[in-house]
Chains A and B, each alone.
Chain A
């Protein structure tokens, strides 16, 4: 081989590489690729959306490709005629932090074996471990193409602060989807918030998107370990119990002390957008149970998350919003005894989840 021949090969290879990258920028095929999945075909679908940091132990990972996340989930299977499909939207408590898949809220609702209108009630866990209504809306938006009959949307005050709405990496890295929703539902959300990730031309090439591509591949590969072991979370043997004693601290979010609190301070517009997005599909908004402490300074605070004043004001506001907009609303804030909470004020023990599921199943029956 001569130097000239090698030079030609190098030039051709470089040109081909550049062309492929350009094509990738133009087609932006990541989401289409995401719909391609080994799950529900050669691998069983996941019971909850992929999320996890310690991949080597959890056989799970956090990625930003929403179609890929849904394609890996059992919800992507065809819906049988005799199924009444219930989708659960919420935070880590509903996703099942520190819980096996058969202990989560969705699993315990399914274990009840209820029927609705003669159809089997089948719940799908579409919760995702971070607290923000925007993230809920993003997932609910995608979930609507999976033929829900009913949606349970579990919320808590921590999901409501305005600043929180562009905090989740899932939201930041799905800027286009979030901006579209913001525009469509006229959300009070700055589309130019610098936290949104807007890739440059170079970052949209194959090279720039190598991480996203690798994540898609890793999601498929971890599926084998998930299939063989049923593990999708590295549950520690031990955890620190949620605090019961508190400092004399009344601050919440950006409020250093109790202050008059209006609906404008919280992202009710995002909640309303979700209700609108669901359209004809009924949604039950659930104010999820919180840990109510009886420790030091518990006259000031319910728990580590919430001072009493802020949480009480939130409940009043949510109740008023639900009435004004005609939403189905279920306030279960004090429905679970304090002993059934684990590491945070919203994470329940399996027994706690069972109690919650009983409340919810009876609410569904009444609906």
Chain B
């Protein structure tokens, strides 16, 4: 989101609050978010890819929604069922599932009248609206480039319609071909497909190969192929939100969602490009309450505006100033020779990263508030934390929670119930390192992010071993305030520097350059 987009979103919020009939608010957020997926996508060199990627994303979301639908819902049930008694997928049922799951009841959903073949009419209308928007965006090709809204020329509308027809037919065909596959397996398949797409788009060699293939198709220069050709804006966040819904459907805790709710949740425009990663059940609570929202609620607008202003200041004043030359980057990492200078650049980088990302989050949350959706917090004074564990409960909270829910907890549980049970040390090490590596690779499938993930996984592991052994002693410090303060100060110092040194891996793609930076930091040259 640039300044112009933020201004447009904020201005539109006033119209939304003042003029729009309350019952259309959900529709407005849906349509606005779909359009934003196209508008926020920057220009890409491969012809039509800046149109094709957002479209593919929307189709992927529709497919995921289809898979997470509760096929029993139209028969009258209002809660989703856990998927452990499927005919074909029985052996894949979660070993930890108990039949009591269904009592973990998601919010019930009213289904007003069935449409075609069990698809509620409301969802069909949404689907048609979505297709109309996709085709509608392609008409922007006839608009002068200055007013086009999207960065690259979209393809011919006729071609879009044909392509959508073919894809739709293929979808139906696939559905028929796979009708004997259990929903549970289909969900797993979808999760794997999204994970695979993630790896292809985020791993340099694979992305370059794909770009080369696409360039060959479009007759463009294949020697220029690079990962930059596939800058699929928002995909990292969308992928993780989709996996959350698919996995939660498998464990039976996903509430029943209409297509409109589902799509809007996944691509809600304030959090589309840079998070936070909301949870579907939390989002729909707000979404369903939209018609009851006071249109021009001064408090809501003041709260949202204040949050946006704070975010703008963090991002465009503090972070962008630091980025001018006070923060470590690929260029100055190779130029600075003095340890003092390198330390300053590294501290600067740590602050820049926090204010940049934190500022964006404030803006996203502020815009969300204007529209009546309270997105979850993503940061909670991370650099003031005194343990690496609490750092990870306060830095990019929604990502680390996601990783805890979908990597750490399932993996720990699986290891804890394994026979024979591995040693506690092995379980904790494996679970923590895997979790942090996933968080690392989410930023990009590359060696430096892998090392950054390992750095934090090992840090968390060591901290757990330490705190397990010192917990009693540490509680004893409560009676000695002076010593406790000293100890807390020391813990903060160690934690902060562990995090800051970890940023060296994060900031520099080239590992040998990171090693050079460590050398300079510690005086080795």
Touch test A–B (CB under 8 Å): yes
The distance in angstroms between the C-alpha atoms of A227 and B332, with both chains bound, is 12
A225 is contacted by which of B296, B325, B337 (Cβ under 8 Å)?
B325
A41 at the interface (CB under 8 A from B): no
Known A-B contacts A56-B331, A228-B335, A231-B335; the reply to A1 vs B298 at CB < 8 A is: yes
Check B299–A229 contact: CB distance below 8 A.
Answer: no
* Distance in Å: Cβ of A226 to nearest Cβ of chain B: 8
Q: What residues of chain B lie closer than 8 Å to A56, measured between beta carbons?
A: 331
Instruction: Flag whether B324 is at the interface (Cβ < 8 A).
Output: yes
From A1, A2, A224, give the contact of B325 (CB < 8 A).
Answer: A224
Is B345 among interface residues, defined by CB-CB distance under 8 A?
yes
> Chain A: interface secondary structure?
helix
Within 8 A of A (CB), among B313-349: 321-322, 324-326, 331-332, 335-338, 341-342, 344-345, 348
Whether A221 touches B302, Cβ cut-off 8 Å, given contacts A227-B341, A228-B345, A229-B336, is no
Query: Beyond A1-B302, A6-B302, is A221–B332 a contact (Cβ under 8 Å)?
Result: no
Evaluate contact between B298 and A228: CB separation under 8 angstroms. no
Nearest chain A residue, comparing its CB with the CB of B344 = A224
Distance of B350 from chain A, by nearest CB (Å): 15
Mask: chain A, 1-19; 1 = CB below 8 Å from B; 0 = not:
1110110010000000000
Residues of B within 8 A of A228 (CB): 332, 335-338, 341-342, 344-345
Inter-chain contact A221/B326, CB cutoff 8 Å: yes
Q: Once the chains bind, are B302 and A59 in contact (CB under 8 Å)?
A: no
Give residues in B with beta carbon < 8 Å to A.
296, 298-299, 301-302, 321-322, 324-326, 331-332, 335-338, 341-342, 344-345, 348
The A215-230 residues at the B interface (CB cut-off 8 A) are: 217-218, 221-229
A313-344 vs B, Cβ < 8 Å mask (1 yes, 0 no): 00000000000000000000000000000000
Q: Which residues between 1 and 56 of chain A lie within 8 Å of chain B, taking CB atoms?
A: 1-3, 5-6, 9, 55-56
* Partner pick for B321 among A57, A59, A221, A231, CB 8 A cutoff: A221
B439 → A minimal CB distance (Å): 29
**Using Cβ atoms and an 8 Å threshold, which residues of chain A touch B301?**
6
A-B pairs with CB below 8 Å: how many? 52
Given A221-B322, A221-B324, output 18 extra A-B contacts at Cβ < 8 Å: A1-B298, A2-B298, A59-B325, A221-B326, A224-B341, A224-B344, A224-B345, A224-B348, A226-B325, A228-B336, A228-B337, A228-B342, A228-B344, A229-B332, A229-B335, A229-B337, A229-B341, A231-B335
Distance of A3 Cα from B18 Cα, bound (Å): 14
* Nearest opposing residue in chain A for B338, CB measure: A228
B336: chain A residues within 8 A (beta carbon): 228-229
Chain B proximity of A235: nearest CB distance (Å): 12
With both beta carbons as reference points, the residue of chain A lying nearest to B329 in the complex is identified as A56
Per CB-CB distance, the 3 closest pairs between chain A and chain B, nearest first, are A228-B341, A225-B325, A3-B298
- A55 and B324 within 8 A (CB): yes
Q: Chain A residues near B322 (CB, 8 Å)?
A: 221
* Residues of chain A contacted by B348 (CB below 8 angstroms): 224
Compute how far the CA of A41 lies from the CA of B519 in the bound complex, rounded to whole angstroms: 29
In the complex, what residues of A have CB within 8 A of residue B331's CB?
Answer: 56-57
A237 to chain B, nearest CB (A): 15
Given A217-B321, A229-B335, A231-B335; A224-B299 close (CB under 8 Å): no
Whole-angstrom distance between the Cβ of B292 and the nearest chain A Cβ: 19
CB of A222 within 8 A of CB of B325, answer: yes
Within 224-246 of A, Cβ neighbours of B (below 8 Å) are at: 224-229, 231
A229: B residues at CB distance < 8 A: 332, 335-337, 341
Q: Are B345 and A6 in contact (CB under 8 A)?
A: no
Nearest-CB distance from A67 to chain B (Å)? 21
